Amino acid sequence: AAATRPNVKLRFLADLSHCLFDFVIQLLPTAEEMSVKEDVRKLLERLIRTIEPDSRLLSFGSTANGFSLRNSDMDLCCLIDSGERLSASDLVTMLGDLLERETKFHVKPLPHARIPIVKLSLDPSPGLPLGIACDIGFENRLALENTRLLMCYAMIDPTRVRTLVLFLKVWSKRRKINSPYKGTLSSYGYVLLVIFFLVHVKNPPVLPNLQQMPPLRPISKEDTHLGANNIWFFDDIEVLRQRWHSENTESVAELLIDFFRYYSRDFLYNTGVASIRAGLLKKESKGWQNDLSPGRVNDARERNRLCIEDPFETEFNVSRCVTKDGLYTIRGEFMRASRILQVRPDRAIVAIAELCA
């Protein structure tokens, strides 16, 4: 029996990779959903142009980066090209009024939020059996750039990267650990954890570090910076394919098992910062350590339990909303997943069902 064990393990891994792939494929948005969403974007753009004629409405987040699941929300960003323009909060108020008058959307303007947005939702219809949820923000150029960065990472190794990310998104939603408002982590945070793992933890790496690759030709500071933030990364994927390829041949299943093991056991939650730009950093070096000076204790501690550096807004902790309880729950889920995959139920499909139960 001992001699057959390695075979059992190999068979399980091959089977699991296959099942993970099939599992996420069925959860991708349909062509119809994509086209209804594009129609909605165009309609909203036309309406916004009645207020700001020089504006464009662009898609970001999962609808634009290749990590979209069926019924994902739509993240839209309005860019205004003319110099003179209204403030974001005035725009939110005006647009909110306009959409309320002219469309069937339920409209909720949030003009005083940290990032002012209009929240929209549409009731279910035959083309969209689950309705639509959509946020419109203004001038959020960094979000457009980080969307493009994630899209480039997905394009380098579509099968492994997209399967892992999409599976983890479904898993985190089903296990209810994907709600920043309730103290757990956003989808964006999970995607960054996956990329950090593939660039900096895996050896040999599955992905290169796009932000540290030398540019093909010298570029001026104006072209690499948006305000104070360096937004440069190597985005010529065709050239990259000729110049770089991963020595890592692990399957999706092996990577997933190792991902869960790493984040349940090895990641240094108390002192470490996951940075896809610079690798594992120390909370101390960013001033994100638990501040023990009087009066600040709870504040810094609560905000920096889990630290994930934004790729471009490096002073920004993407997981600042994760609370002590939230992190405890997330780590518990990583451990649970690890355990399920270690036991190796005889069929991979059973393991997937149990993971997402």
Q: How far is the CB of 263 from ligand GTP (least distance, A)?
A: 18
Q: Which is nearer to Mg ion, 74 or 206 (CB)?
A: 74
**Residue 166: half-sphere exposure toward Cβ, Cα within 13 Å:** 27
Residue 256 binds which entry of Mg ion, ligand GTP, none, with Cβ cut-offs from 5 to 8 Å by kind? none
Q: Give the CA distances from residue 144 to residues 75, 78, 182, 320, in Å, rounded to whole numbers and listed in that order.
A: 10, 10, 25, 21
Give SS3 for 228.
Answer: coil
Size of the site for ligand GTP (CB under 6 A): 19
Examine residue 229 and tell whether it contacts ligand GTP (CB under 6 A): no
Do the beta carbons of residue 61 and residue 75 sit within 8 Å? yes
- Among the listed residues 17, 24, 33, 60, the single contact to ligand GTP using CB under 6 A: 60
Per partner kind, with CB cut-offs from 5 to 8 A, the member of Mg ion, ligand GTP, none near residue 313 is: ligand GTP
Helix (H, G, I), strand (E, B) or coil at 335: helix
Structure tokens at 328: 């405890």
Nearest Cα neighbor of 237 from 161, 142, 165 is 161
- Using the contact rule CB under 6 A, the part of the chain among 14-22, 140-148, 215-223, 277-285 near ligand GTP is 140-148
Q: Which is nearer to ligand GTP, 194 or 341 (CB)?
A: 194
146 counts as binding ligand GTP under rule CB under 6 A: yes
Q: Which of 142, 210 has the CB closer to ligand GTP?
A: 142
Binding segment (CB under 6 A) for ligand GTP, from list 38-46, 183-191, 204-212, 335-343: 183-191
13-21, 66-74, 124-132, 255-263 -> range binding ligand GTP (CB under 6 A): 66-74
Q: Which residues bind Mg ion (CB under 5 A)?
A: 61-62, 73, 75
Q: What are the φ/ψ torsions at residue 309 (nearest 5 degrees)?
A: -80, 135
Instruction: In angstroms, give the least distance from the CB of 119 to ligand GTP.
Output: 12
139 touches ligand GTP (CB under 6 A):
no
To 10 degrees, what angle do helices 252-261 and 158-174 make? 50
Q: CB nearer to ligand GTP: give 12 or 188.
A: 188
CB of 151 to ligand GTP, least distance (A): 9
Decide: is 171 part of the binding site for ligand GTP (CB under 6 A): no
Output DSSP code: residue 60. Answer: E
Query: According to the 3-state scheme, what is the secondary structure of 86-128?
Result: CCHHHHHHHHHHHHHHHCCCEEEEECCCCCCEEEEEECCECCE
The strand ranges marked E within the chain are 55-60, 74-80, 106-110, 117-122, 132-138, 225-226, 229-230, 272-275, 279-282, 308-309
Residue 188 interacts with, from ligand GTP, Mg ion, none (CB under 5-8 Å by kind): ligand GTP
Nearest to 273 by CA among 324, 200, 205: 200
Decide whether 33 or 310 has the Cβ nearer to ligand GTP.
310
Q: What minimum distance in Å lies between the beta carbon of 133 and Mg ion?
A: 9
Rounded to the nearest whole angstrom, what is the least distance from the CB of residue 187 to Mg ion in the complex? 6
C-beta closer to ligand GTP: residue 146 or 211: 146
Residues 6+ apart with CB under 8 A from 235: 148, 149, 152, 210
Q: Which CB sits closer to ligand GTP, 43 or 69?
A: 69
Which positions touch ligand GTP (CB under 6 A)?
60-62, 67-69, 72-73, 75, 142-143, 146-147, 186-188, 310, 313, 318
